[in-house]
Structure 1
Amino acid sequence: MPENMISATIDELPQLQGSTFGPSDWRTVPQSEVDLYAQLSGDDNPIHVDADFAAATPFGGRIAHGLLTVSVAVPLLRQVFRVTGMGMGINYGMNRLRFPAPVPAGSRIRIAGRVAEVTVIDGGLQATVVVEVEVEGNSKPACVAELVLRYYR
């Protein structure tokens, strides 16, 4: 388990505001997952699936879809940020989402972030969590997302 993991019960969640967490473990994003995502989503942009086309682009090879990057970040987030003692938790949405750098197929990513805000909602709490997805060996993040998570009692 990563060293900088934060965990709290739903009642302790407000105390985490301002806390940082991560990084998570590294996770490889193989071309097979990029291909599967392209098939499932219908997004078959050649930058993702056509090796010859992608090699001729400024990226020099195939890259993961931005939304695939967000999706595979979810299990990484669970490694380093956990809320317990609740009835249900949901991803309520995102306030902001950017993809400053690509995730080359076959590269490794990890996630780190901070709890920006915790507010009371009917039946529970809402946490705004800012996360960055790092690509191994790249100084620029692949994804910066402001996630809105809801936890109900």
Structure 2
Amino acid sequence: MTTPLSVAVDDLPGAEGTAFGPSEWRVITQEEVDDFARLSGDMNPIHIDPDFAATTSYGTTIVHGLFTLSLVVPLMKEILEVTGVGLGINYGSNRLRFPAPVPVGARIRVSGVLKSVTEVTGGYQVEVPVTFEVEGGEKPVLVTELVLRYYR
């Protein structure tokens, strides 16, 4: 089990520039992808039809990019803990890219950096570049800069 970077909300400015992670590896199953497709309405056959996907350059079904992004919550929980928080919110994301696919059944993990910490009324806004990688992959599968807010 990975030990998370633990920072008290009032100590966030002093943690600026600190890297954390990577998380543990996590497998994404076809059942999870199918569930995401039903919930999101994104029924593209590259995600849900193994026979179709086998005829493409990927050779297999691939995970929705937005499903991969949604896994940032449980994966980040493993590697970053901000204590003393009354409320934490996802304020947005900057420069979201999916440079490589995630084949269904592959293992992914995430790592990040507390790039900048800015005081906002009642707490701090933190810009956190994160990178998702797939086991054995040459390129990242997702890169973005999360914008998170932590209030006391």
The answer to whether TM tops 0.5 is yes
Amino acid at match of 2:115: A
**Unpaired runs of 5+ in structure 2?**
none
Aligned-residue offset at 1:49: 0.5
CA distance in 2: counterparts of 1:117 and 1:141, whole angstroms: 22
CA distance in 1: counterparts of 2:66 and 2:39, whole angstroms: 12
SS in 1 for 2:113: strand
Aligned-residue offset at 1:93: 0.6
Contact 1:73 1:110 survives alignment (8 Å): no
Question: Per-residue displacement from partner, 1:119-145 (whole Å, max 9, x unpaired)?
Answer: 001111000000001101102111001
Q: Partner of 2:2 in structure 1?
A: 2
After TM superposition, list the pairs within 5 Å mapping 1:32-111 onto structure 2: 32-111=31-110
**Unpaired runs of 5+ in structure 1?**
none
SS in 1 for 2:62: coil
Identity in percent: 57
Aligned-residue offset at 1:52: 1.3
SS in 2 for 1:76: helix
SS in 2 for 1:39: helix
CA distance in 1: counterparts of 2:149 and 2:31, whole angstroms: 32
Contact 1:110 1:135 survives alignment (8 Å): yes
RMSD: 0.8
Q: Partner of 1:112 in structure 2?
A: 111
Aligned length: 152
Aligned-residue offset at 1:73: 2.2
Structure-2-length-normalised TM-score: 0.97
Contact 1:34 1:64 survives alignment (8 Å): yes
Q: Partner of 1:126 in structure 2?
A: 125
Amino acid at match of 1:58: S
Structure-1-length-normalised TM-score: 0.97
